[in-house]
């Protein structure tokens, strides 16, 4: 029988991207499918601590193996911002577009557009916690392009491509993606650990 893991997220885009990578190697249950309707707080100052918070809250609630991920966009000339604040960069209650607008305003006169997406997965397996990281280096462009994906995808071009993530189909984003790299490590770990 395949192992089951709860994915502690309320972001359907993350679920779609991670399910695409995991395929049918493991059973992934979303919070919605598990009947859990909570907004898990992310009060900490690092991706690692926030990822930990999300997986441990769901683990305490369900007593099942689970994982979560926290992702941030780290821009060099902004000293790593929005980083851990990526979801709320323009303030509470603001949307993806407000966050992009703020980012582009803050980068308006900057020549250095280097940035990276960093994903940290926290896995709680048999009451122990493990972390997996995935990084995608790239650049922030001045005008947004494309309608696919989510978040900052319309302004981020990964190194090795000339398209933004939002101009790519999910399969192509997966080739470059921070989330895919972290998920590959998770899958490898589960296989090495004898979890099937
Ligand atoms: P959960 O906490 O429920 O998992 P969330 O959307 O709040 O979902 P995060 O706290 O990790 O997720 O927020 C990260 C924000 O960074 C997210 O809202 C997006 O704006 C952005 N982001 C994350 N991954 C991204 C990606 O692959 N492409 C573009 N933007 C992304």
pLDDT in tens, 1-22: 678 999 999 999 999 999 999 9
Distance 13 CA to ligand 1 centre (A): 9
Structural domain of residue 74, as residue ranges?
4-192
* Count of structural domains within the chain: 1
Q: What is the CATH number of the domain that holds 24?
A: 3.90.950.10
- Summarize pLDDT for 103-124 with one digit per residue, the tens: 999 999 889 999 999 999 999 9
Distance 150 CA to ligand 1 centre (A): 8
pTM: predicted TM-score of the whole model, two decimal places: 0.96
143 is known as an active-site residue: no
Quick one: tokens of 47?
């991706």
Phi and psi (nearest 5°) for 44? Answer: -90, 175
- Summarize pLDDT for 82-99 with one digit per residue, the tens: 999 999 999 998 899 999
């Amino acid at each position: 029988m395949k192992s089951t893991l709860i994915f502690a997220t309320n972001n359907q885009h993350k679920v779609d991207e991670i399910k695409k990578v995991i395929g049918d190697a493991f059973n992934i249950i979303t919070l919605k499918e598990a009947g859990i309707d909570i907004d898990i707080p992310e009060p900490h100052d690092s991706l690692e601590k926030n990822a930990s918070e999300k997986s441990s809250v769901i683990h305490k609630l369900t007593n099942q193996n689970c994982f979560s991920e926290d992702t941030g966009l780290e821009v060099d000339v902004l000293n790593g911002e929005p980083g851990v604040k990526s979801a709320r960069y323009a303030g509470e209650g603001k949307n993806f577009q407000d966050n992009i607008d703020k980012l582009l305003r803050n980068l308006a006169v900057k020549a250095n557009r280097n940035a990276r997406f960093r994903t940290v997965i926290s896995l709680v397996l048999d009451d122990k916690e493990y972390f997996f990281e995935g990084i995608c280096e790239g650049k922030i462009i001045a005008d947004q392009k494309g309608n696919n994906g989510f978040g900052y995808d319309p302004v981020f071009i990964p190194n090795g491509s000339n398209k933004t993530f939002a101009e790519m189909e999910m399969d192509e984003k997966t080739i470059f993606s921070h989330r895919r790299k972290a998920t590959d490590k998770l899958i490898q770990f589960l296989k090495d650990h004898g979890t099937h």
